[in-house]
Amino acid sequence: MKQITIFLSHCLFAIAFFMSGASAQTTAQSFEINKISTKFVHVPVKTGAAKTWVTVNIDGVLQHEFEVELAPENPDFYATLEVGAWIGKKLTLTAEKVTPDSKWLTLTKTSNELSDEPLVYKEELRPQFHFAPRRGWTNDPNGLVFYKGTYHLFFQHNPYGTGWGNMTWGHAVSNDLLHWNEKADAVIPDKNGVVFSGSGVVDWNNTSGLQTKPLKDKNGKIANPPLVLFHTSTGADRGKGEASQSMNYSLDEGKTWINYPGNPVIPHLIGGNRDPKVFWYSDKSKDSNPKNGHWVMALYLDGQDYALFSSANLINWEKVCDIKNVGCSECPDMFELPVDGNKQNSRWVFWGGDGKYLIGSFNGKEFTKESGPFTTKYGGNDYAAQSYSDIPEADGRRIQFSWMAGGEYPKMPFNQQFTVPRNLTLRSTPEGIRLFMEPTKELEKLRISKEADFKTTLQGMESPVKVPALKGDLLDLEMVLDLKIPPTSDTTVVITAEIFGQKISYNLGNQKIDLGGVKAPLAPIKNQIKLRIITDRTSIELFANDGIVQISKCFVNKDKVPANMTISGNKGLAEVKIKSFQLKSVWKNLKK
């Protein structure tokens, strides 16, 4: 980064305010650049400092505003504002309330790099293979779309602090779902409000007409289709406005994003209507022409109610269906999956924010519930999951990320993380068709070596058995509990494992699995319980019986307890088999 000459202007008035019973005078101060020559401005942030609103003016026109804990000195980290779109123009950043002795003006920097802070991705509590933002807060994953070999991950982001606020869409890209290269924020607040959650699609047939210069490939298909994002705009006029649905698009493969001038595309309807999930529905009743179909939007309305909308062009939308009493709220997702891999026997899944889901059929307009609500995930730290659009048919997976809500990252310049990427499938069970959730195969590429292939017979609750050869805090464990007795036995079998101070137990008496107090029903299959346990520096994820049950939990290993996994259980009633893999960090060779 380099310091630049700044011009400090004071408002002609002072604003008095009281803090902790004492009076302190504040003024408005401005950071100015007469001609922008770099891509980024880096603003100093101090967690716990007094908040102030900062306005962003270009050539005297308001473009954006945000609230920030502006550092008067000794910043904890730098928040990044992209200004590259305005090269050559005048920038004025005005902080409304700062004390006269604040040094934020001299601390503010410019650069052509997103960051050059030496500790980026090297922080003590940085997840080593779970996505977390470079700086600031994150919550819901948004706009998950795959295009030309690249996974685009957008996310709810506060670029200016480690608490919720200033909702913006952060942006990162990857070619393997694990190694992420964070880009500049893609969608920022505008006159319609801050940017809440939503989805993304590729408009392969340019139904929107947004690509005004379409190019054709050798097969006659559009080679440069628009990438289109949908989000909820809410809180215009600093939180006083109503929620509506807006659109942004890219004509350069996601490098830059354009705010659709006709926003909102759906005005406020009811309550907190939000979180549009958009997908293409192919009309199978006509022919195999991919152009025979239409766009569908699933939208949360209010309470436990959702609705479906239809559009031919992504711009004009018509309500076609209500979906009521789903059993949850917010963040809908909707997708079709084959049952047991049979493409001739498929079902549609309608998913809500806390992981409740319905199974049914969909004819392009009406969703008809067949069963549910059910759940695959139970409690813990897991919310607002979303799945990818436009995964190639040859791949065929339904890949999902979820926010590990409620994690703690003390004194870190970032806050919150996502789960590992997960693959969703529908399978037949004795109780009916259910959704299963497992880590994607890409995670196995992080395995360094097989650290342990261990088998033991439990010798009683008083005699825990130590699992050998565990190293580090990045682990992928495959565990099989062979119960040796019929599930209907009156004998109570309790098996307990502990790793990094986190306890996992299974009780055959009530057929429940427990991770750190989060319990889920789990019946044995052929007298076995299969567990996949994945640990990172601040989290543990458990997938049971091939993913019929999933629990995600965040923790802070304050005492830096090593792995030291031990297992105990009723004597002679269970044999335990474990394969343990150490995982490598995705940040080791990162090029900033």
Pairing of strands 414-415, 136-147: parallel
Determine how many CB atoms are found less than 10 A away from the CB of residue 556.
Answer: 13
Q: Tokens 């008496």 — which residue?
A: 509
Instruction: Compute the distance between CA of residue 320 and CA of residue 329 in angstroms, rounded to an integer.
Output: 19
Cα–Cα distances (Å) from 41 to 112, 124, 135, in that order, read: 9, 26, 14
Instruction: Compute the distance between CA of residue 143 and CA of residue 414 in angstroms, rounded to an integer.
Output: 21
Instruction: Compute the distance between CA of residue 177 and CA of residue 183 in angstroms, rounded to an integer.
Output: 15
Instruction: Compute the distance between CA of residue 117 and CA of residue 107 in angstroms, rounded to an integer.
Output: 14
Angle formed at CA 395 by CA 392 and CA 401, multiple of 5 degrees = 85
Catalytic residue chosen out of the listed positions 59, 76, 101, 140: 140
Task: Give 268's contacts (C-beta < 8 A, 6+ positions apart).
Answer: 242, 243, 244
- The closest alpha carbon to 186, from 234, 119, 253, belongs to 253
Instruction: Compute the distance between CA of residue 243 and CA of residue 193 in angstroms, rounded to an integer.
Output: 8
User: Which segments of 6-91 does DSSP mark as H helices, in order?
Assistant: none
Instruction: Compute the distance between CA of residue 267 and CA of residue 264 in angstroms, rounded to an integer.
Output: 6
Please indicate whether residue 237 is annotated as part of the active site: no
What residue type is 348 in one-letter code?
A: W
Cis ω for the linkage preceding 264 (within 30 of 0): yes
**Active-site residue numbers?**
140
